[in-house]
Amino acid sequence: MKQRAHDAEPIQVEKLDPCRYRIRRQGDMNVDGIVYADARLMEDIRQDEALRQVANVACLPGIVRASLAMPDIHWGYGFPIGGVAAFDLETGVISPGGVGYDINCGVRLLRSGLSAGEVAGKSRPLVEALFRNIPTGVGSHRADFKLTARDEDRLLREGAGWVVRQGMGEPEDLRHIEEGGVLEGADPGQVSARARERGRPQLGTLGSGNHFVEVQRVAEIFDEAAARALGLEPEAITVSIHTGSRGLGYQVCDDFLQEMLQAARRYGIRLPDPQLCCAPLSSPEGRRYMGAMYAAANFAFGNRQLITHWVRQSFQEVFGKGPRELAMDVVYDVCHNIAKIETHVVDGRPRRLCVHRKGATRAFPPNHPQTPEAYRSVGQPVLIPGDMGRYSYVLVGTARASEETFGSTCHGAGRRMSRKAAKKSARGRSIVREMEARGIAVRADGYDTLAEEIPEAYKDVADVVGVVERAGISRVVAKLVPIGVIKG
Protein backbone atom coordinates (compact mmCIF):
# COMPACT_ATOMS: atom_id res chain seq x y z
CA MET A 1 0.00 0.00 0.00
CA LYS A 2 1.47 3.33 -1.03
CA GLN A 3 1.94 5.64 1.94
CA ARG A 4 1.58 9.41 1.64
CA ALA A 5 4.81 11.21 0.87
CA HIS A 6 6.08 13.15 3.91
CA ASP A 7 6.30 16.45 1.98
CA ALA A 8 2.86 16.16 0.36
CA GLU A 9 -0.01 18.15 1.79
CA PRO A 10 -2.81 15.82 2.91
CA ILE A 11 -6.02 16.05 0.93
CA GLN A 12 -8.67 17.94 2.90
CA VAL A 13 -12.11 16.38 3.22
CA GLU A 14 -15.29 17.78 4.73
CA LYS A 15 -18.00 15.62 6.25
CA LEU A 16 -21.33 15.94 4.44
CA ASP A 17 -23.25 13.41 6.52
CA PRO A 18 -22.47 10.22 8.52
CA CYS A 19 -21.67 8.29 5.32
CA ARG A 20 -20.24 10.84 2.86
CA TYR A 21 -17.22 13.12 2.67
CA ARG A 22 -16.42 15.75 0.06
CA ILE A 23 -13.15 16.82 -1.50
CA ARG A 24 -14.13 20.31 -2.61
CA ARG A 25 -13.37 21.22 -6.22
CA GLN A 26 -10.12 23.20 -6.41
CA GLY A 27 -7.15 23.76 -8.70
CA ASP A 28 -7.45 21.67 -11.84
CA MET A 29 -10.39 19.64 -10.53
CA ASN A 30 -13.45 19.83 -12.80
CA VAL A 31 -15.83 18.38 -10.21
CA ASP A 32 -15.92 17.56 -6.49
CA GLY A 33 -14.72 14.28 -5.08
CA ILE A 34 -17.28 12.32 -3.03
CA VAL A 35 -16.13 9.51 -0.73
CA TYR A 36 -18.61 7.11 0.85
CA ALA A 37 -17.24 6.30 4.31
CA ASP A 38 -17.87 6.73 8.01
CA ALA A 39 -15.42 8.23 10.50
CA ARG A 40 -13.92 4.84 11.38
CA LEU A 41 -13.22 3.85 7.77
CA MET A 42 -11.94 7.33 6.94
CA GLU A 43 -9.09 6.77 9.42
CA ASP A 44 -7.88 3.83 7.31
CA ILE A 45 -8.51 5.66 4.02
CA ARG A 46 -6.26 8.54 5.07
CA GLN A 47 -3.26 6.20 5.44
CA ASP A 48 -2.44 6.04 1.73
CA GLU A 49 -2.75 8.12 -1.45
CA ALA A 50 -6.30 7.07 -2.34
CA LEU A 51 -7.87 10.45 -1.52
CA ARG A 52 -5.32 12.21 -3.72
CA GLN A 53 -6.23 9.79 -6.51
CA VAL A 54 -9.91 10.70 -6.11
CA ALA A 55 -8.94 14.37 -6.57
CA ASN A 56 -6.71 13.54 -9.55
CA VAL A 57 -9.50 11.68 -11.35
CA ALA A 58 -11.67 14.79 -10.92
CA CYS A 59 -9.19 16.64 -13.18
CA LEU A 60 -9.84 14.47 -16.25
CA PRO A 61 -11.73 16.00 -19.20
CA GLY A 62 -15.45 15.39 -19.53
CA ILE A 63 -15.99 13.92 -16.08
CA VAL A 64 -19.63 14.19 -15.02
CA ARG A 65 -21.07 15.10 -11.61
CA ALA A 66 -18.24 13.90 -9.29
CA SER A 67 -15.22 11.66 -8.83
CA LEU A 68 -16.65 8.96 -6.56
CA ALA A 69 -15.08 6.50 -4.12
CA MET A 70 -16.67 3.61 -2.26
CA PRO A 71 -15.90 2.75 1.41
CA ASP A 72 -13.49 -0.05 0.42
CA ILE A 73 -11.30 2.51 -1.37
CA HIS A 74 -7.51 2.06 -1.29
CA TRP A 75 -4.55 3.10 -3.39
CA GLY A 76 -4.38 1.66 -6.91
CA TYR A 77 -2.83 2.30 -10.33
CA GLY A 78 -4.08 5.71 -11.51
CA PHE A 79 -7.62 5.48 -10.17
CA PRO A 80 -8.07 4.34 -6.58
CA ILE A 81 -9.42 0.83 -6.15
CA GLY A 82 -13.01 1.53 -5.22
CA GLY A 83 -13.22 4.47 -7.63
CA VAL A 84 -16.17 5.33 -9.91
CA ALA A 85 -16.19 8.02 -12.61
CA ALA A 86 -18.51 8.73 -15.53
CA PHE A 87 -17.46 10.62 -18.67
CA ASP A 88 -19.37 12.40 -21.41
CA LEU A 89 -19.08 10.52 -24.71
CA GLU A 90 -18.14 13.64 -26.71
CA THR A 91 -15.80 15.47 -24.34
CA GLY A 92 -14.72 12.69 -22.00
CA VAL A 93 -11.96 10.09 -21.94
CA ILE A 94 -11.36 6.42 -21.31
CA SER A 95 -8.43 5.38 -19.12
CA PRO A 96 -6.91 1.92 -18.53
CA GLY A 97 -6.14 3.11 -14.99
CA GLY A 98 -9.90 3.45 -14.45
CA VAL A 99 -10.41 -0.22 -15.26
CA GLY A 100 -7.29 -1.81 -13.85
CA TYR A 101 -4.93 -4.56 -14.89
CA ASP A 102 -7.34 -7.41 -14.09
CA ILE A 103 -10.08 -6.47 -16.54
CA ASN A 104 -13.49 -7.77 -15.43
CA CYS A 105 -12.18 -9.23 -12.25
CA GLY A 106 -15.52 -10.14 -10.69
CA VAL A 107 -17.54 -12.49 -8.52
CA ARG A 108 -20.02 -15.22 -9.40
CA LEU A 109 -22.35 -16.69 -6.79
CA LEU A 110 -23.86 -20.17 -7.11
CA ARG A 111 -26.63 -21.47 -4.89
CA SER A 112 -27.24 -25.18 -4.30
CA GLY A 113 -29.85 -27.61 -3.05
CA LEU A 114 -27.50 -28.74 -0.26
CA SER A 115 -27.81 -27.70 3.37
CA ALA A 116 -24.98 -26.93 5.78
CA GLY A 117 -25.84 -30.14 7.64
CA GLU A 118 -25.25 -32.24 4.51
CA VAL A 119 -21.83 -30.66 3.97
CA ALA A 120 -20.73 -30.95 7.62
CA GLY A 121 -17.90 -33.47 7.83
CA LYS A 122 -17.23 -33.28 4.08
CA SER A 123 -15.73 -29.82 3.85
CA ARG A 124 -12.14 -31.09 3.68
CA PRO A 125 -12.80 -33.67 0.89
CA LEU A 126 -14.81 -31.01 -0.96
CA VAL A 127 -12.01 -28.45 -0.73
CA GLU A 128 -9.50 -31.06 -1.93
CA ALA A 129 -11.73 -31.93 -4.90
CA LEU A 130 -12.08 -28.26 -5.83
CA PHE A 131 -8.32 -27.75 -5.53
CA ARG A 132 -7.69 -30.81 -7.69
CA ASN A 133 -10.16 -29.85 -10.42
CA ILE A 134 -9.60 -26.07 -10.61
CA PRO A 135 -6.06 -24.97 -11.53
CA THR A 136 -4.78 -22.43 -9.02
CA GLY A 137 -1.65 -20.31 -8.76
CA VAL A 138 0.75 -18.79 -11.28
CA GLY A 139 1.28 -20.93 -14.39
CA SER A 140 -1.43 -23.46 -13.49
CA HIS A 141 -3.50 -25.23 -16.15
CA ARG A 142 -5.44 -28.44 -16.77
CA ALA A 143 -3.77 -31.01 -18.98
CA ASP A 144 -7.16 -32.23 -20.29
CA PHE A 145 -8.34 -28.82 -21.51
CA LYS A 146 -6.70 -26.82 -24.25
CA LEU A 147 -7.97 -23.64 -25.87
CA THR A 148 -6.99 -23.32 -29.52
CA ALA A 149 -6.19 -19.99 -31.14
CA ARG A 150 -9.38 -20.20 -33.22
CA ASP A 151 -11.53 -20.97 -30.18
CA GLU A 152 -9.87 -18.18 -28.23
CA ASP A 153 -10.96 -15.72 -30.92
CA ARG A 154 -14.57 -16.90 -30.56
CA LEU A 155 -14.34 -16.73 -26.77
CA LEU A 156 -13.15 -13.11 -26.93
CA ARG A 157 -16.22 -12.26 -29.02
CA GLU A 158 -18.83 -14.47 -27.36
CA GLY A 159 -17.82 -14.62 -23.69
CA ALA A 160 -19.54 -17.07 -21.34
CA GLY A 161 -21.94 -18.12 -24.09
CA TRP A 162 -19.10 -19.77 -26.01
CA VAL A 163 -18.21 -21.91 -22.97
CA VAL A 164 -21.87 -22.91 -22.47
CA ARG A 165 -22.12 -23.91 -26.13
CA GLN A 166 -19.15 -26.25 -25.61
CA GLY A 167 -21.29 -28.18 -23.09
CA MET A 168 -19.82 -26.59 -19.96
CA GLY A 169 -22.83 -24.92 -18.47
CA GLU A 170 -26.53 -24.33 -19.05
CA PRO A 171 -28.20 -21.65 -21.19
CA GLU A 172 -30.02 -20.56 -18.03
CA ASP A 173 -26.63 -19.56 -16.56
CA LEU A 174 -26.36 -16.74 -19.08
CA ARG A 175 -29.60 -15.13 -17.92
CA HIS A 176 -28.03 -14.45 -14.52
CA ILE A 177 -24.77 -12.83 -15.59
CA GLU A 178 -24.15 -9.11 -15.98
CA GLU A 179 -24.74 -8.26 -19.67
CA GLY A 180 -25.66 -11.90 -20.27
CA GLY A 181 -21.98 -12.82 -20.02
CA VAL A 182 -20.86 -10.96 -23.15
CA LEU A 183 -19.97 -7.35 -23.92
CA GLU A 184 -20.99 -6.43 -27.45
CA GLY A 185 -18.38 -4.43 -29.32
CA ALA A 186 -15.44 -6.61 -28.32
CA ASP A 187 -12.70 -6.49 -30.96
CA PRO A 188 -10.29 -9.44 -30.68
CA GLY A 189 -8.21 -7.83 -33.43
CA GLN A 190 -7.04 -5.24 -30.89
CA VAL A 191 -5.75 -7.94 -28.50
CA SER A 192 -2.03 -8.46 -29.03
CA ALA A 193 -0.46 -11.81 -29.88
CA ARG A 194 1.32 -11.73 -26.51
CA ALA A 195 -1.96 -11.23 -24.64
CA ARG A 196 -3.60 -14.09 -26.54
CA GLU A 197 -0.59 -16.32 -25.90
CA ARG A 198 -0.80 -15.60 -22.17
CA GLY A 199 -4.55 -16.22 -22.09
CA ARG A 200 -4.82 -19.52 -23.95
CA PRO A 201 -3.54 -21.82 -21.18
CA GLN A 202 -5.28 -19.82 -18.44
CA LEU A 203 -8.96 -20.22 -19.28
CA GLY A 204 -10.64 -21.98 -16.36
CA THR A 205 -7.87 -21.11 -13.89
CA LEU A 206 -8.13 -19.25 -10.63
CA GLY A 207 -4.80 -17.45 -10.54
CA SER A 208 -3.12 -16.19 -7.39
CA GLY A 209 -3.42 -13.27 -4.98
CA ASN A 210 -6.88 -12.54 -3.64
CA HIS A 211 -8.70 -14.79 -6.10
CA PHE A 212 -10.59 -17.72 -4.61
CA VAL A 213 -13.36 -20.29 -4.77
CA GLU A 214 -15.24 -20.32 -1.47
CA VAL A 215 -17.88 -22.73 -0.16
CA GLN A 216 -20.27 -20.90 2.16
CA ARG A 217 -23.47 -21.30 4.16
CA VAL A 218 -26.24 -18.72 4.28
CA ALA A 219 -25.82 -17.63 7.90
CA GLU A 220 -28.39 -14.84 8.06
CA ILE A 221 -31.22 -13.41 5.98
CA PHE A 222 -31.95 -9.68 6.30
CA ASP A 223 -34.52 -9.26 3.53
CA GLU A 224 -36.76 -12.30 3.13
CA ALA A 225 -38.52 -11.15 -0.04
CA ALA A 226 -35.25 -10.39 -1.84
CA ALA A 227 -33.68 -13.63 -0.58
CA ARG A 228 -36.60 -15.61 -1.99
CA ALA A 229 -36.22 -13.88 -5.35
CA LEU A 230 -32.51 -14.78 -5.36
CA GLY A 231 -33.20 -18.36 -4.25
CA LEU A 232 -31.28 -18.02 -0.97
CA GLU A 233 -32.48 -19.93 2.10
CA PRO A 234 -31.10 -20.10 5.67
CA GLU A 235 -28.31 -22.67 6.06
CA ALA A 236 -28.20 -23.39 2.32
CA ILE A 237 -24.80 -23.95 0.72
CA THR A 238 -23.48 -21.41 -1.78
CA VAL A 239 -20.23 -21.08 -3.72
CA SER A 240 -18.47 -17.81 -4.64
CA ILE A 241 -15.97 -17.63 -7.50
CA HIS A 242 -13.65 -14.60 -7.57
CA THR A 243 -11.31 -14.26 -10.53
CA GLY A 244 -10.89 -12.29 -13.74
CA SER A 245 -9.19 -12.18 -17.12
CA ARG A 246 -5.83 -13.51 -15.90
CA GLY A 247 -2.71 -12.80 -17.96
CA LEU A 248 -4.68 -11.83 -21.04
CA GLY A 249 -6.34 -8.89 -19.31
CA TYR A 250 -3.11 -7.85 -17.62
CA GLN A 251 -1.34 -7.77 -20.98
CA VAL A 252 -4.14 -5.79 -22.64
CA CYS A 253 -3.79 -3.12 -19.96
CA ASP A 254 0.00 -3.13 -20.22
CA ASP A 255 -0.10 -2.92 -24.01
CA PHE A 256 -2.31 0.17 -24.01
CA LEU A 257 -0.64 2.20 -21.26
CA GLN A 258 2.14 3.49 -23.51
CA GLU A 259 -0.29 4.13 -26.35
CA MET A 260 -2.53 6.10 -23.98
CA LEU A 261 0.40 8.17 -22.68
CA GLN A 262 1.20 9.18 -26.26
CA ALA A 263 -2.49 9.81 -26.98
CA ALA A 264 -2.83 12.11 -23.97
CA ARG A 265 0.08 14.20 -25.28
CA ARG A 266 -1.30 14.16 -28.82
CA TYR A 267 -4.73 15.44 -27.72
CA GLY A 268 -3.33 17.95 -25.24
CA ILE A 269 -4.74 16.25 -22.16
CA ARG A 270 -3.11 17.50 -18.99
CA LEU A 271 -2.53 14.60 -16.59
CA PRO A 272 -2.12 15.15 -12.84
CA ASP A 273 -0.56 11.68 -12.74
CA PRO A 274 0.91 9.76 -15.74
CA GLN A 275 -0.91 6.66 -14.46
CA LEU A 276 -4.14 8.40 -15.50
CA CYS A 277 -3.07 8.26 -19.15
CA CYS A 278 -6.15 8.27 -21.36
CA ALA A 279 -7.60 9.09 -24.76
CA PRO A 280 -10.83 10.74 -25.87
CA LEU A 281 -13.67 8.24 -26.07
CA SER A 282 -14.26 9.36 -29.65
CA SER A 283 -10.64 8.86 -30.73
CA PRO A 284 -9.19 5.87 -32.62
CA GLU A 285 -7.02 5.07 -29.56
CA GLY A 286 -10.05 5.17 -27.27
CA ARG A 287 -12.06 2.90 -29.56
CA ARG A 288 -9.17 0.44 -29.90
CA TYR A 289 -8.76 0.18 -26.13
CA MET A 290 -12.51 -0.25 -25.66
CA GLY A 291 -12.57 -3.12 -28.17
CA ALA A 292 -9.61 -4.87 -26.55
CA MET A 293 -10.90 -4.27 -23.02
CA TYR A 294 -14.31 -5.72 -23.88
CA ALA A 295 -12.62 -8.76 -25.41
CA ALA A 296 -10.66 -9.27 -22.18
CA ALA A 297 -13.90 -8.87 -20.20
CA ASN A 298 -15.45 -11.63 -22.30
CA PHE A 299 -12.47 -13.84 -21.49
CA ALA A 300 -13.17 -13.25 -17.80
CA PHE A 301 -16.85 -14.14 -18.17
CA GLY A 302 -15.77 -17.34 -19.91
CA ASN A 303 -13.19 -18.03 -17.22
CA ARG A 304 -15.77 -17.91 -14.43
CA GLN A 305 -18.15 -20.03 -16.53
CA LEU A 306 -15.59 -22.80 -17.00
CA ILE A 307 -14.68 -22.72 -13.30
CA THR A 308 -18.42 -23.04 -12.56
CA HIS A 309 -18.44 -26.23 -14.63
CA TRP A 310 -15.56 -27.67 -12.61
CA VAL A 311 -17.18 -26.59 -9.31
CA ARG A 312 -20.28 -28.55 -10.29
CA GLN A 313 -18.15 -31.57 -11.20
CA SER A 314 -16.36 -31.40 -7.84
CA PHE A 315 -19.64 -31.39 -5.91
CA GLN A 316 -20.89 -34.34 -7.96
CA GLU A 317 -17.73 -36.30 -7.12
CA VAL A 318 -17.90 -35.66 -3.38
CA PHE A 319 -21.65 -36.03 -2.83
CA GLY A 320 -22.44 -38.64 -5.48
CA LYS A 321 -25.42 -36.64 -6.70
CA GLY A 322 -26.42 -35.56 -10.18
CA PRO A 323 -26.92 -31.99 -11.41
CA ARG A 324 -30.67 -32.05 -10.77
CA GLU A 325 -30.24 -33.09 -7.12
CA LEU A 326 -27.42 -30.61 -6.48
CA ALA A 327 -29.36 -27.77 -8.15
CA MET A 328 -26.24 -25.60 -8.46
CA ASP A 329 -27.65 -22.56 -10.20
CA VAL A 330 -26.04 -19.21 -10.94
CA VAL A 331 -27.46 -16.49 -8.70
CA TYR A 332 -25.50 -13.72 -10.42
CA ASP A 333 -22.10 -12.75 -11.83
CA VAL A 334 -20.82 -9.18 -11.50
CA CYS A 335 -17.93 -7.18 -13.01
CA HIS A 336 -15.65 -5.23 -10.67
CA ASN A 337 -13.12 -3.74 -13.11
CA ILE A 338 -14.79 -2.38 -16.23
CA ALA A 339 -15.78 0.72 -18.21
CA LYS A 340 -19.13 0.56 -20.00
CA ILE A 341 -21.43 2.82 -21.99
CA GLU A 342 -24.63 3.28 -20.01
CA THR A 343 -27.60 5.65 -19.81
CA HIS A 344 -27.99 7.66 -16.61
CA VAL A 345 -30.16 10.61 -15.64
CA VAL A 346 -28.05 13.71 -15.01
CA ASP A 347 -29.65 17.06 -14.17
CA GLY A 348 -33.06 15.66 -15.02
CA ARG A 349 -32.27 14.26 -18.47
CA PRO A 350 -30.91 10.91 -19.69
CA ARG A 351 -27.31 10.95 -20.93
CA ARG A 352 -25.12 8.29 -22.49
CA LEU A 353 -21.95 8.06 -20.41
CA CYS A 354 -18.86 5.89 -20.11
CA VAL A 355 -18.87 4.69 -16.50
CA HIS A 356 -15.53 3.48 -15.12
CA ARG A 357 -15.88 1.14 -12.15
CA LYS A 358 -12.55 0.05 -10.71
CA GLY A 359 -13.04 -2.15 -7.66
CA ALA A 360 -16.71 -1.19 -7.67
CA THR A 361 -19.93 -3.03 -8.46
CA ARG A 362 -22.87 -2.06 -10.60
CA ALA A 363 -26.00 -1.73 -8.41
CA PHE A 364 -28.99 -1.09 -10.65
CA PRO A 365 -32.37 -0.62 -8.95
CA PRO A 366 -35.64 -2.55 -9.14
CA ASN A 367 -37.40 -2.33 -12.51
CA HIS A 368 -34.23 -1.38 -14.36
CA PRO A 369 -34.28 -2.95 -17.85
CA GLN A 370 -30.76 -4.34 -17.42
CA THR A 371 -31.62 -6.13 -14.18
CA PRO A 372 -32.44 -9.81 -14.93
CA GLU A 373 -36.17 -10.41 -15.15
CA ALA A 374 -36.10 -12.83 -12.21
CA TYR A 375 -34.78 -10.04 -9.96
CA ARG A 376 -36.62 -7.10 -11.52
CA SER A 377 -38.83 -6.64 -8.45
CA VAL A 378 -35.94 -6.43 -5.96
CA GLY A 379 -32.99 -4.96 -7.87
CA GLN A 380 -29.74 -6.22 -9.34
CA PRO A 381 -27.83 -8.59 -7.04
CA VAL A 382 -24.59 -7.16 -5.61
CA LEU A 383 -21.96 -9.66 -4.42
CA ILE A 384 -19.51 -8.41 -1.78
CA PRO A 385 -16.81 -10.87 -0.70
CA GLY A 386 -15.02 -10.41 2.60
CA ASP A 387 -11.79 -11.97 3.81
CA MET A 388 -11.40 -15.74 3.99
CA GLY A 389 -11.93 -15.90 7.76
CA ARG A 390 -15.12 -13.92 8.34
CA TYR A 391 -18.10 -13.43 6.03
CA SER A 392 -19.40 -12.08 2.72
CA TYR A 393 -22.65 -10.34 1.81
CA VAL A 394 -25.32 -10.36 -0.88
CA LEU A 395 -27.02 -7.02 -1.49
CA VAL A 396 -29.28 -5.52 -4.15
CA GLY A 397 -29.13 -2.20 -5.96
CA THR A 398 -31.32 0.80 -5.19
CA ALA A 399 -32.85 3.83 -6.85
CA ARG A 400 -30.60 6.07 -4.78
CA ALA A 401 -27.52 4.41 -6.29
CA SER A 402 -28.84 5.35 -9.73
CA GLU A 403 -29.37 8.92 -8.57
CA GLU A 404 -26.02 9.43 -6.79
CA THR A 405 -23.38 6.94 -7.95
CA PHE A 406 -24.32 6.02 -11.54
CA GLY A 407 -25.76 2.78 -10.16
CA SER A 408 -22.57 1.77 -8.30
CA THR A 409 -21.57 0.47 -4.90
CA CYS A 410 -18.61 -1.17 -3.12
CA HIS A 411 -16.94 -4.42 -4.24
CA GLY A 412 -15.35 -6.00 -1.16
CA ALA A 413 -13.62 -5.41 2.13
CA GLY A 414 -10.68 -3.43 0.78
CA ARG A 415 -7.12 -3.94 1.92
CA ARG A 416 -5.88 -2.14 5.02
CA MET A 417 -2.47 -3.82 5.08
CA SER A 418 0.00 -4.25 2.22
CA ARG A 419 0.89 -7.75 1.08
CA LYS A 420 4.41 -7.24 2.44
CA ALA A 421 3.08 -6.14 5.83
CA ALA A 422 0.61 -9.03 5.90
CA LYS A 423 3.40 -11.57 5.27
CA LYS A 424 5.43 -9.99 8.06
CA SER A 425 2.44 -10.21 10.43
CA ALA A 426 1.85 -13.86 9.50
CA ARG A 427 5.45 -14.93 10.09
CA GLY A 428 5.64 -18.01 12.30
CA ARG A 429 1.88 -18.62 12.23
CA SER A 430 0.00 -21.61 10.80
CA ILE A 431 -2.75 -19.90 8.85
CA VAL A 432 -4.30 -23.25 7.88
CA ARG A 433 -4.64 -24.27 11.55
CA GLU A 434 -6.04 -20.85 12.44
CA MET A 435 -8.69 -21.22 9.77
CA GLU A 436 -9.49 -24.79 10.81
CA ALA A 437 -10.02 -23.53 14.36
CA ARG A 438 -12.73 -21.29 12.90
CA GLY A 439 -14.30 -24.25 11.09
CA ILE A 440 -12.91 -23.29 7.67
CA ALA A 441 -11.02 -25.78 5.50
CA VAL A 442 -8.36 -24.00 3.42
CA ARG A 443 -6.18 -25.16 0.54
CA ALA A 444 -3.72 -22.95 -1.30
CA ASP A 445 -0.95 -23.23 -3.86
CA GLY A 446 1.60 -21.87 -1.40
CA TYR A 447 2.06 -20.36 2.04
CA ASP A 448 2.80 -16.87 0.74
CA THR A 449 -0.72 -16.49 -0.69
CA LEU A 450 -2.28 -17.42 2.65
CA ALA A 451 0.05 -15.05 4.49
CA GLU A 452 -0.86 -12.17 2.16
CA GLU A 453 -4.57 -12.88 2.60
CA ILE A 454 -4.83 -13.15 6.40
CA PRO A 455 -8.15 -11.72 7.63
CA GLU A 456 -6.56 -8.75 9.41
CA ALA A 457 -5.04 -7.58 6.09
CA TYR A 458 -8.55 -6.42 5.15
CA LYS A 459 -11.12 -4.03 6.53
CA ASP A 460 -14.09 -5.70 8.15
CA VAL A 461 -16.50 -6.08 5.23
CA ALA A 462 -19.42 -5.57 7.63
CA ASP A 463 -18.20 -1.99 8.16
CA VAL A 464 -18.01 -1.40 4.41
CA VAL A 465 -21.43 -2.91 3.75
CA GLY A 466 -22.88 -0.95 6.66
CA VAL A 467 -21.86 2.33 5.03
CA VAL A 468 -23.38 1.59 1.62
CA GLU A 469 -26.62 0.44 3.25
CA ARG A 470 -26.89 3.47 5.53
CA ALA A 471 -26.07 5.70 2.56
CA GLY A 472 -28.94 4.04 0.68
CA ILE A 473 -26.93 2.91 -2.35
CA SER A 474 -27.41 -0.82 -1.62
CA ARG A 475 -29.69 -2.98 0.50
CA VAL A 476 -28.37 -6.00 2.43
CA VAL A 477 -30.08 -9.32 1.68
CA ALA A 478 -27.96 -12.07 3.25
CA LYS A 479 -24.71 -12.89 5.05
CA LEU A 480 -22.60 -15.84 3.87
CA VAL A 481 -20.06 -17.53 6.17
CA PRO A 482 -17.14 -19.57 4.75
CA ILE A 483 -16.86 -23.32 5.25
CA GLY A 484 -14.02 -24.00 2.84
CA VAL A 485 -11.83 -22.02 0.47
CA ILE A 486 -9.19 -22.62 -2.19
CA LYS A 487 -6.68 -19.95 -3.20
CA GLY A 488 -3.85 -19.70 -5.70
Domain ranges of the chain: 106-245+299-332+410-487
Burial of 346 from C-beta contacts in 10 A (0-12 / 13-18 / 19+)? middle
Three-state DSSP at 84 gives strand
- Give dist(CA 128, CA 132) in Å, integer: 6
What sign does the CA torsion over 227, 230, 235, 240 have? negative
CB hemisphere CA count around 298 (13 angstroms): 28
Choosing among 2.60.40.10, 3.90.1860.10, 3.40.50.2300, 1.10.3720.10, the CATH entry for 106-245+299-332+410-487 is 3.90.1860.10
- Number of CB atoms found within 10 A of residue 10's CB: 9
Residues in the chain: 488
pTM: 0.96
Of 74, 211, 309, 411, which one is the catalytic site residue? 411
CA torsion, points 156, 158, 180, 407, in degrees to nearest 10? 30
Three-state DSSP at 271 gives coil
- Give dist(CA 24, CA 26) in Å, integer: 6
Say if residues 411 and 336 touch (Cβ distance below 8 Å).
yes
Residue 119: which of 483, 438, 437 has the closest Cα?
483
Rounded to 5°, the CA angle 194-1-295 comes to 30
Per-residue pLDDT of the chain (488 residues; tens, 9 = 90+): 555 444 567 899 999 999 999 999 999 999 999 999 999 999 999 999 999 999 999 999 999 999 999 999 999 999 999 999 999 999 999 999 999 999 999 999 999 999 999 999 999 999 999 999 999 877 777 778 889 999 999 999 999 999 999 999 999 999 999 999 999 999 999 999 999 999 999 999 998 888 999 999 999 999 999 999 999 999 999 999 999 999 999 999 999 999 999 999 999 999 999 999 999 999 999 999 999 999 999 999 999 999 999 999 999 999 999 999 999 999 999 999 999 999 999 999 999 999 999 999 999 999 999 999 999 999 999 999 998 889 999 999 999 999 999 999 999 998 888 888 888 888 888 888 888 999 999 998 888 888 888 888 888 999 999 999 999 999 999 999 999 999 97
What sign does the CA torsion over 423, 426, 428, 434 have? negative
For the chain, the first-to-last Cα distance in angstroms comes to 21
Q: Is 6 a catalytic residue?
A: no
